[in-house]
């Protein structure tokens, strides 16, 4: 099981294919924000009902997590070129999600070079 704090600090990258995003680590997900870069006119869409298969599919491999965003067709086209991002509110896999110090915000930034995704741990998704 790969910890996201280690993977992000090591500069590991993920990738996307259409509406499917591959993360090179594991996590326990609390919520997701998907949105355009913040402005006075835009607000991110928050997904908290992670059990709805019409919205989100989750697949976990030995060294990765794959999220399929079923309401979106091409995340790179919609969010790439600094137009937006995905922010996960998550804890390390198996940690106590009821302890605030275990929860982190992980920003996924779409880089169009080979459909790569870079990751950052941020303090507040509304200060982007």
Measured CA to CA, the distance from residue 75 to residue 69 in angstroms comes to 9
pLDDT of residue 2: 83
Q: Which domain holds residue 72?
A: 4-127
List the one residue out of 64, 60, 67, 66 whose CA is nearest residue 24: 64
Tokens read off for 29 = 């997900």
38-77 confidence digits (pLDDT tens): 555 556 678 888 888 888 999 999 999 999 999 888 887 7
3-state secondary structure of 94: coil
Measured CA to CA, the distance from residue 88 to residue 31 in angstroms comes to 6
Q: What Rg value do the Cα atoms of the chain yield, rounded? A: 14
pLDDT of residue 34: 85
| Count of domains observed in the chain | 1
Per the listing, tokens 């607000």 go with 43
3-state secondary structure of 113: helix
116-125 confidence digits (pLDDT tens): 999 999 998 8
List the one residue out of 127, 94, 122, 93 whose CA is nearest residue 108: 122
Measured CA to CA, the distance from residue 58 to residue 71 in angstroms comes to 14
What's the chain's average pLDDT?
87
Q: Which letter does DSSP use for residue 91 in this model?
A: E
Average pLDDT over residues 67-88: 82
2-14 confidence digits (pLDDT tens): 899 999 999 999 9
């Amino acid at each position: 099981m790969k910890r996201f704090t280690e993977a992000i600090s090591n500069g590991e990258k993920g990738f996307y294919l259409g509406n499917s995003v591959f993360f090179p680590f594991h996590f326990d997900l609390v919520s997701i924000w998907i949105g355009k870069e913040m402005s006075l006119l835009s607000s991110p869409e928050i997904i908290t009902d992670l059990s709805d298969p019409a919205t989100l599919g989750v697949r976990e491999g030995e060294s990765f997590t794959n999220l399929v965003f079923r309401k979106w067709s091409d995340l790179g086209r919609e969010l790439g070129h600094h137009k937006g991002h995905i922010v996960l509110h998550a804890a390390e896999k198996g940690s106590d999600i009821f302890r605030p110090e275990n929860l982190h915000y992980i920003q996924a930034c779409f880089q169009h070079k080979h459909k790569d995704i870079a990751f950052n741990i941020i303090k507040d998704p509304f200060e982007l």
